[in-house]
Chain A
Amino acid sequence: DTAVSQTPKYLVTQMGNDKSIKCEQNLGHDTMYWYKQDSKKFLKIMFSYNNKELIINETVPNRFSPKSPDKAHLNLHINSLELGDSAVYFCASGAYAGPPQYFGPGTRLTVT
């Protein structure tokens, strides 16, 4: 009965690789988010989708591409991974255009 789930939980990969992180919410929420938590523990929004439509796209390298096949899923694809991409990535969901209410457990990405 997990509200927001992410896979994988841990991801270790080499520079230059392409990887994806999947996110699913079973709350019926219309809005989903991707956040990045850096080594200083700051959480920064990357993307926000309302009903599969992109509404927030912060200053994120275009190597990061979110994809929302339906409103219950928001996947994050990262091309040409760099060392600086190492962080914990959180998916979240909330009511339409509202604040994030539920967060996934996070995906710890380590780029070597």
Chain B
Amino acid sequence: KQEVTQIPAALSVPEGENLVLNCSFTDSAIYNLQWFRQDPGKGLTSLLLIQSSQREQTSGRLNASLDKSSGRSTLYIAASQPGDSATYLCAVSSGYGQNFVFGPGTRLSVLP
């Protein structure tokens, strides 16, 4: 049974800092991994999707890496801004059309 954990549970940084969020999964036989952002009272927003054959994906100030063999993914946020404050979740899928298993999320606060 796939289990996904994320550390830290919460993170508070001053504006402008670069930061890394970590995601670990127990079963390395994944199909893809996705990072989401959740804002209070709003739906989740998909940030990056990494297929199992890929090692990283980039979108603007965000970079996500995937190391399947070690069961880890990191989300790197460059030059953080207060607008980045949200909860970040990672989710892994075990197969095409298979459901995602979500981690508990990391709550990020970027202080102005």
Q: Which residues of A contact B (CB under 8 A)?
A: 4, 31, 33, 35, 40-45, 48, 50, 55-56, 58, 90, 92, 97-106
Residues of A within 8 A of B98 (CB): 56
| Complex Cα spacing A4 to B93, Å | 21
Residues of A within 8 A of B43 (CB): 4, 90, 92, 102-106
Task: Give the residue of B34, B42, B99 whose beta carbon is less than 8 angstroms from that of A58.
Answer: B99
Residues of B within 8 A of A99 (CB): 32, 34, 46, 49, 91, 93, 100
Total number of B residues with any Cβ neighbor in A under 8 Å? 23
Given A55-B97, A105-B41, A41 contacting B34 (CB threshold 8 A): no
Task: Give the residue of A4, A42, A48, A102 whose beta carbon is less than 8 angstroms from that of B102.
Answer: A42
Q: Which residues of B contact A (CB under 8 A)?
A: 32, 34, 36, 41-46, 49, 87, 89, 91, 93, 96-100, 102-105
Q: Can you list 20 pairs linking A and B with CB atoms under 8 Å apart?
A: A31-B97, A35-B102, A41-B105, A42-B103, A43-B44, A43-B89, A43-B100, A56-B97, A56-B98, A58-B99, A99-B34, A100-B44, A100-B100, A102-B43, A102-B45, A103-B44, A105-B41, A106-B41, A106-B42, A106-B43
Contact A41 B104 (CB under 8 A): yes
Q: Is the interface of A mostly helix, strand, loop or mixed?
A: strand
Residues of B within 8 A of A98 (CB): 97
Residues of A within 8 A of B97 (CB): 31, 48, 50, 55-56, 97-98
Residues of B within 8 A of A45 (CB): 99-100
Question: Whose C-beta in chain B lies nearest to the C-beta of A33?
Answer: B99
Contact B105 A100 (CB under 8 A): no
Task: Give the residue of B45, B93, B105 whose beta carbon is less than 8 angstroms from that of A103.
Answer: B45
| Complex Cα spacing A73 to B96, Å | 22
| Complex Cα spacing A101 to B48, Å | 10
Given A50-B97, A99-B32, A99-B93, A43 contacting B102 (CB threshold 8 A): yes
Residues of B within 8 A of A103 (CB): 36, 43-45
